[in-house]
């Protein structure tokens, strides 16, 4: 996750925490908003870009790009092997989303810090976003072939002839690419990688990945505010009446 994304997530969390008392309907609205952005961008990229196509979004920011790839696994292209690995990951996501619903309801009921609830909601929404790809994209889109460089159609465009895979076997669409540092080299004295080329930031990700990463980073950054330590009360002893912890 890049620094700009973390700053945006943290700023949003601070604003919400200072201005509202969060209820479950607010968490649902935030989840829906993240999913709307995530899915709208994925559908646009899937149907408008061929596999591997890359475009710079702003000439003044050459490292901010769309680069269309698909992956069968976890965030940032990590994956488990084979069909069973794919099914296991999708089932895990289903269980995680089910638990996430219960957990958000629980922490709202227990009046946890608003900022923490927002962070958990970001993670929850990101998990649902990638789960939607895994569950349904194989059924509703044609395959994006890296050799044919075709634009994939939705089944509503091909007479409902079916997609490229069955239920649970959809691929996750990634498109956000931010190689801030390119064509750079480690200095020769650098341990292990001295003289070798490197790039930062290499992974291609999506809005759901960014939502998950931003939520996790924000929890780590603000954990002392979300979970303030409670000082033990001091009580006097019976013998000396001296306060002790």
Q: Active-site positions? A: 174, 209
Vertex 41, ends 4 and 221: CA angle to 5°?
30
Q: Give the integer Cα–Cα distance in Å for 178 and 181.
A: 9
Residue 20: half-sphere exposure toward Cβ, Cα within 13 Å: 15
Residue that is written with structure tokens 């009580």 in the block: 235
| Both tokens assigned to 204 | 């291609």
The helix (H) or strand (E) run that includes residue 34 is helix 24-48
| Both tokens assigned to 186 | 């480690």
| Both tokens assigned to 61 | 């920011």
Peptide bond before residue 201 is cis, with ω within 30 degrees of 0:
yes
């Amino acid at each position: 996750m890049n620094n700009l994304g973390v700053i945006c997530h943290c700023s949003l969390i601070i604003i919400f925490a200072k201005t509202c008392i969060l209820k479950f309907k607010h968490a649902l609205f935030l989840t829906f908003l993240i999913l709307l952005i995530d899915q709208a961008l994925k559908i646009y990229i899937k149907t408008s870009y061929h596999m591997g196509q890359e475009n710079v979004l702003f000439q003044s920011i050459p490292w901010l790009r769309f680069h269309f790839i698909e992956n069968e696994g976890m965030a940032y292209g990590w994956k488990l092997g084979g069909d069973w690995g794919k099914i296991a990951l999708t089932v895990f996501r289903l269980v995680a989303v089910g638990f996430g619903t219960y957990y958000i309801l629980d922490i709202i009921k227990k009046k946890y810090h608003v900022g923490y609830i927002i962070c958990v909601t970001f993670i929850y929404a990101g998990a649902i976003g990638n789960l939607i790809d895994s569950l349904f994209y194989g059924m509703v889109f044609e395959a994006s072939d890296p050799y044919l460089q075709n634009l994939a159609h939705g089944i509503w465009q091909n007479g409902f002839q079916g997609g490229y895979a069955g239920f649970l076997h959809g691929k996750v669409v990634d498109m956000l690419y931010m190689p801030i540092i390119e064509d750079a080299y480690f200095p020769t004295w650098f341990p292990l990688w001295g003289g070798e080329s490197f790039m930062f930031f290499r992974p291609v990700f999506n809005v759901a990945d960014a939502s998950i990463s931003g939520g996790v980073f924000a929890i780590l950054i603000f954990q002392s505010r979300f979970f303030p330590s409670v000082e033990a009360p001091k009580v006097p002893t019976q013998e000396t009446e001296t306060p002790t912890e």
